[in-house]
A and B are shown apart, each in its own frame.
Chain A
């Protein structure tokens, strides 16, 4: 570089006007992520909102003839059983199942993380197993086990107790629905609670023992209060998850004539011999959207507090384990009973039914029919394409979004932050509906294809922004600045420094989102067409057409696929835990 002759009156060599560190590549990438977030999360919600206030109800919101009105709201809230029946049964269903989930998950997490329970690693793996299995498969398996007439368990109990007729257990009841949903949500909550217990600073408990407190006193006076933020946040999350559940209410609740919010919305959209009532459905959705977002705000407040209440010391301390002593056998019995009901029996009944459910001979008939069915292979492909693409897309967008929210200062940043976590609070059934309206109103030519599923699944942005955000907070900004000061442009800094450092959490985010996408049932049900069936939907179709053996064969193949994935997942989780 030519040194100027008169350094005192330096000549401007800075060639262009002022530019930021982003450059145009960075500018485009960051803008793209922000717009994508708005499109994936906000656009469907706005479409939904306007639908609730447009009538008449059977028209799309901006079809000719539609106008602004509050008729939908009046009609739905005053003229139907929404407030008198659906709301109370939704509340009972949600609260009941959350109580079951929490009691079970807390006990399991406690036993696995904080006691000397034998075979902990194996138990950990088997508990996680149902996490990967679509809820619809679990629901189906449980009906095979507990249906009042031909359910395996009922048949066995009747033989054992010498009873006649149906029963004694009736899964098609509110109690059955609550228990099934409660057990189905256990693995997820177990993971969150386990993490909170694992990262607890042991010196807090040791200080209590050193002060002369007995273990039971320490548990109630120190352990529980310290864990409170780490327990309350999963509690709210479990409520949100229960609220959006659709599989159990459809398979178990519907035969029992129990209507909760998700099934009500679905049947409003798919009425028998009528046109779908978009406006009324949107009005129903509105109530639950408001409730969910209120819960989300509480949740967000709690995890911000939990972050401040961090119990991790990062020093590799390991909480001490309690000796179970004479409680060992009851504890093992509890775990064993849970695993039997939640994982082993469902797996066995599915596999058996797939071989023997169709006729009286045991054989591969169901598989032959299934593999010859020309809907099957496209459904396999769709399942993987949609889960994989949406997971990849939002892992990337979420990372960019988290990066810009943490590292850049720009107007609207706070609003973007809200958008980035909003999706935790939006029930999937509402998303499916909202995306449907958006694409019927503004057709971009993907309605009824797998691409609309990719877009709809991708609303779960928050999973990825949350994980990336947590990881980015750990990355000192000076690591990025060192790259810029070394002459690295935005793309160099992101590609060579930020992304490699984020790699473990990007992997985790992809894996998690892939599993969520693989399990997804609600969204593909609502947005289904003949061209975009996925495995879970196919299974439901077979099941409701009474093709029990074939449905079980689909379930079995899903289990076969999931089994190896669980070991990848377990390695990830255990390596974080640093425990063999």
Chain B
């Protein structure tokens, strides 16, 4: 449905130029939900704006539904208003001088060839019904809550029945509770309309919860993409591991390797664990063992675990507590049921689930 090839883009800055995109390639099948995830400034919005036609890339090609809209090699660039898209901005960009109906009707009113008024009305009401805002058609846009503006922005993006829906951090302006609720609503909405979606966010839990495919971006490149479980469970490198959920790093040395398994002795704590290994490693190689907080159990007596740590800090978070444990020079994060109560300075013992660990050659 959407094909992006070799996208590059530089911005002129005060001191020369800054390359925001360094070659982006990806594809979304019809009906797919594809998420670009990455930290601030990595080029997510730039990519999305190039797809929308609001920015003109320096290099690369883009086609939407089999229609080439950008191909720098052939000098093709269709402006945004000729692309079959719906776009939702982070700021919603609801026009304050129009009411809800007029906001949603806009894409139909400017469409060529012109549509008749009854058809416009029917389709606007349908779109408003889709987002549960049919009772607000006459409401002035400035008199809407954040969540309602959000829904109007979706209705406006979908009213043209575009081939491609582009969403740039649509949930990030909402408070935590509403964000959670809107996430499900949005997912349901997209499922019902079946529209192909390109989603941009820096919130990993959104990305993991909603997407078919997650692409992690860093410094103008896609560093890894795949199904959420795959990318979360088997990050290709440290950047991805770090960005998706919090990760613990422990130094170690390979004692023995083979059959996709390696035995590693940890530098701190002097214990051995057998962990899966995707790369060929030879005995004696220095490695980093990476595991997530939820893959560790924490105990306050030595019977539960083999690695002894000291409790550095306890962060109560309601449904769970986060423990920061010191193991030699390393700080580890673990999650613990809030009923377990330890004080800073107490001793704790941890057990790591070896099958969930990931090995990287030490860098």
**Contact between A21 and B80, CB atoms less than 8 A apart:** yes
* CB proximity of B39 to chain A, nearest CB, Å: 22
| Chain B residues positioned under 8 Å from A7 (CB to CB) | 1, 3, 63, 65-66
**Contact between A486 and B66, CB atoms less than 8 A apart:** no
| Binary contact track A1-23/B, C-beta < 8 Å → 1, others 0 | 10110111011111001111101
Q: Could you list 30 examples of A-B contacts with CB < 8 Å?
A: A3-B65, A6-B66, A7-B3, A12-B71, A13-B68, A14-B67, A14-B69, A14-B82, A17-B76, A20-B79, A21-B81, A23-B79, A476-B93, A478-B89, A479-B95, A481-B54, A481-B80, A483-B106, A484-B80, A485-B52, A485-B54, A486-B107, A486-B156, A487-B107, A488-B106, A489-B81, A492-B110, A496-B109, A501-B97, A503-B97
* CB proximity of A390 to chain B, nearest CB, Å: 27
| Binary contact track A488-526/B, C-beta < 8 Å → 1, others 0 | 110010001100110100000000000000000000000
- Tell whether A10 pairs with B63 under 8 Å between CB atoms, given A482-B89, A484-B81, A486-B110: yes
13 additional contacts, CB 8 Å, given A1-B67, A14-B77, A485-B86? A7-B65, A10-B3, A10-B66, A12-B76, A14-B78, A21-B81, A476-B91, A481-B87, A484-B79, A485-B54, A485-B81, A487-B111, A496-B106
CA distance A503 to B97 in the complex (A): 10
* CB proximity of B22 to chain A, nearest CB, Å: 22
* CB proximity of B239 to chain A, nearest CB, Å: 30
Q: Is B96 an interface residue (CB 8 A)?
A: yes
Q: Is B75 an interface residue (CB 8 A)?
A: yes
| Chain A residues positioned under 8 Å from B68 (CB to CB) | 10-14
Minimum CB distance partner of B29 in chain A: A7
Across the A-B interface, how many residue pairs have beta carbons closer than 8 Å?
119
CA distance A19 to B87 in the complex (A): 20
Q: Give the one of A4, A17, A485, A492 with max B CB within 10 A.
A: A485
CA distance A344 to B298 in the complex (A): 87
* CB proximity of A263 to chain B, nearest CB, Å: 48
| Chain A residues positioned under 8 Å from B71 (CB to CB) | 12, 14
CA distance A485 to B51 in the complex (A): 11
CA distance A503 to B95 in the complex (A): 14
- Residues on A lying within 8 angstroms of B by beta carbon are 1, 3-4, 6-8, 10-14, 17-21, 23, 476, 478-479, 481-489, 492, 496-497, 500-501, 503
| Chain A residues positioned under 8 Å from B1 (CB to CB) | 7
- Tell whether A1 pairs with B65 under 8 Å between CB atoms, given A476-B91, A483-B106, A496-B106: yes
Q: Is B58 an interface residue (CB 8 A)?
A: no
**Contact between B106 and A486, CB atoms less than 8 A apart:** yes
| Binary contact track B81-109/A, C-beta < 8 Å → 1, others 0 | 11111110111010111000000001101
| Chain A residues positioned under 8 Å from B110 (CB to CB) | 483, 486-489, 492, 496
Minimum CB distance partner of A500 in chain B: B97
Q: Is B74 an interface residue (CB 8 A)?
A: yes
CA distance A492 to B79 in the complex (A): 14
**Contact between B89 and A481, CB atoms less than 8 A apart:** yes
* CB proximity of A307 to chain B, nearest CB, Å: 19
CA distance A478 to B156 in the complex (A): 14
* CB proximity of A488 to chain B, nearest CB, Å: 4
Count B interface residues, CB 8 Å.
43
CA distance A8 to B69 in the complex (A): 14
| Chain A residues positioned under 8 Å from B109 (CB to CB) | 496
* CB proximity of B81 to chain A, nearest CB, Å: 5
| Chain A residues positioned under 8 Å from B272 (CB to CB) | none
CA distance A432 to B66 in the complex (A): 61
CA distance A20 to B77 in the complex (A): 8
| Chain A residues positioned under 8 Å from B202 (CB to CB) | none
* CB proximity of B357 to chain A, nearest CB, Å: 39
* CB proximity of A422 to chain B, nearest CB, Å: 26
Minimum CB distance partner of A21 in chain B: B79
Minimum CB distance partner of B74 in chain A: A12
Q: Is B56 an interface residue (CB 8 A)?
A: yes
CA distance A492 to B78 in the complex (A): 17
* CB proximity of B74 to chain A, nearest CB, Å: 7
Restricting to B137-190, which residues have a CB under 8 Å from any CB of A?
156, 160, 166
CA distance A10 to B86 in the complex (A): 21
**Contact between A488 and B78, CB atoms less than 8 A apart:** no
* CB proximity of A222 to chain B, nearest CB, Å: 35
Q: Give the one of A10, A17, A478 with max B CB within 10 A.
A: A10
- Tell whether A484 pairs with B95 under 8 Å between CB atoms, given A1-B84, A4-B66, A14-B69: no
- Tell whether A482 pairs with B93 under 8 Å between CB atoms, given A7-B1, A10-B67, A488-B106: yes
| Chain A residues positioned under 8 Å from B96 (CB to CB) | 501
| Chain A residues positioned under 8 Å from B111 (CB to CB) | 487
| Chain A residues positioned under 8 Å from B90 (CB to CB) | 478
| Binary contact track B1-38/A, C-beta < 8 Å → 1, others 0 | 10100000000000000000000000000000000000
CA distance A11 to B107 in the complex (A): 26
* CB proximity of B321 to chain A, nearest CB, Å: 38
| Chain A residues positioned under 8 Å from B77 (CB to CB) | 14, 18-19
Minimum CB distance partner of B61 in chain A: A10
Select one of A12, A476, A485, A500 contacting B85, CB under 8 A.
A485
CA distance A486 to B86 in the complex (A): 7
| Chain B residues positioned under 8 Å from A489 (CB to CB) | 81, 110
| Chain B residues positioned under 8 Å from A487 (CB to CB) | 81-82, 107, 110-111, 160
CA distance A488 to B108 in the complex (A): 9
Minimum CB distance partner of A501 in chain B: B97
CA distance A23 to B71 in the complex (A): 19
